[in-house]
Amino acid sequence: MNLGDYFDNTKGYGVIATADSEGKFNATVYARPHFFDENTIAFIMRERLTHTNLQTNTRCRHESPTSLCGETDGVWRLDA
């Protein structure tokens, strides 16, 4: 199963964890991501700490209660 199909068929929420350029982390609850194609996803977010962290450090982790970590390692790199 690819991630787009998984999120299309799974209800719920997830947690996004980010860190700033100095390694200070935060985690926040988000709805499922929106998939445009195999390589493009989007989260709707306000310009707060998670958004700011992604401007300086594009590595993040998204976890959901029914995580796919064994399949994907749960780590996505976002292109800013």
Q: What is the pLDDT of residue 24?
A: 92
Burial 49-67 (b: 16+ CB within 10 A, else e): ebeebbeebeebbbebeee
Burial (CB count within 10 angstroms: exposed 0-12, middle 13-18, buried 19+), residue 16: buried
Domain tally for the chain?
Answer: 1
Residue 42 lies in a domain: no
**pLDDT in single tens digits along all 80 residues of the chain:** 677 787 778 777 778 888 998 989 899 888 878 888 777 778 888 889 988 988 888 888 777 655 443 334 444 554 44
Residue 12 lies in a domain: yes
Q: What is the pLDDT of residue 2?
A: 74
Q: What is the pTM of this model?
A: 0.63
Q: Which amino acid is at 58?
A: T
Spatial separation of the C-alpha atoms in residues 7 and 26, rounded to whole Å: 23
Could you tell me if 64 and 6 are in contact, meaning their C-beta atoms sit under 8 angstroms apart? Answer: no
Residue numbers of the domain that contains 11: 1-35+48-63
